[in-house]
Amino acid sequence: MLGMSEMREMLIRRLIEEGVLTQPEVIKAMSKVPREEFVMPELREQAYMDTPLPSLEGQTISAPHMVAIMCQLLSLKPGHMVLEVGAGTGYHAAVCAEIVAPRQPGAKDGHVFAIERIRSLVEFARSNLARCGYSDRVTVIEGDGTLGYPDAAPYDAILVTAAAPRIPPPLKSQLRDGGRMVIPVGEAYSIQDLIVVEKSGSDFKEWTYGGCVFVPLCGRYGWRP
């Protein structure tokens, strides 16, 4: 039987062959983070299937190809300050942390702030991230991420991993000049648009990357819980 790291390597190779994974820093990060440590323990064997998997409270961990696509659309670089809305299992935050805060001498600072509204997932994410050594590079905050996290703003990158009815205004205002946000916008449990927003001066450029399916973003500027 193949070990977890071999299965991880095979998945990464396939995503490269399919043309999904293209950026070296994202390939490196996804080759490092053990997805099996972030899925529900009974689903470990399925950790390297390219599919979303159930987490807790009817929520999911995104498919690896979607994690790759979103990280690449954000053009993450070492030293970036990242806000994730929808920490879930903590997996995507760990992948971002590997890119923006790599463990290398002389690496620039970089940090991921990940907000989650469901307490059991806040605890799940924190314990997964701690076990895998990311506690000092990822901060999990319990709260409504549609309000952003003004304490650490502005951000170079904002990653929203739940589908919004519209782009929450506080998230736009917490983006640094030149920074990018990726956010699924559309009806819950149907095909949504993955939107990329780039702040340039006082303007925002917006374009649609393609279709996606996410669980709903609930909160003040999201859907009603």
Asked whether position 194 contacts ligand SAH by CB under 6 A, the answer is no
The yes or no reply on residue 148 touching ligand SAH (CB under 6 A) is no
**Which of residues 62 and 192 has its CB atom nearest to ligand SAH in the complex?**
62
Q: Which of 29, 30, 37, 62 binds ligand SAH (CB under 6 A)?
A: 62
CA distance 171 to 99: 22
Residue 219 touching ligand SAH (CB under 6 A): yes
Which residue in the set 30, 66, 73, 91 belongs to the binding site for ligand SAH (CB under 6 A)? 91
Name the one range near ligand SAH by CB under 6 A: 43-51, 187-195, 199-207, 215-223.
Answer: 215-223
Dihedral of CA 158/94/140/65: which sign? positive
85 binds ligand SAH (CB under 6 A): yes
Residue 135 neighbours by CB distance under 10 Å? 13
CA dist., res. 159 & res. 181, Å (int): 6
Q: How many CB atoms lie within 10 A of CB 134?
A: 24
HEC per residue, 99-165: HHCCCCCCCCCCEEEEEECCHHHHHHHHHHHHHCCCCCCEEEEECCHHHCCHHHCCEEEEEECCEEC
* Residue tagged active-site, from 5, 31, 55, 62: 62
Q: Is 52 exposed, middle or buried (0-12, 13-18, 19+ CB in 10 A)?
A: middle
- End-to-end C-alpha distance for the chain, whole angstroms: 43
**CB count in 10 Å sphere of residue 220:** 10
| Per CB under 6 A, 184 contacts ligand SAH | no
- The stretch among 71-79, 113-121, 181-189, 200-208 that binds ligand SAH (CB under 6 A) is 113-121
For ligand SAH, the binding residues in 5-44 under the rule CB under 6 A are none
Q: Does residue 115 bind ligand SAH (CB under 6 A)?
A: yes
Q: Is residue 217 at the binding interface for ligand SAH, with CB under 6 A as the rule?
A: yes
Positions touching ligand SAH (CB under 6 A) are 59-62, 85-86, 88-89, 91-92, 115-118, 121, 144-146, 161-162, 215, 217-219, 222
Residues with active-site annotation: 62
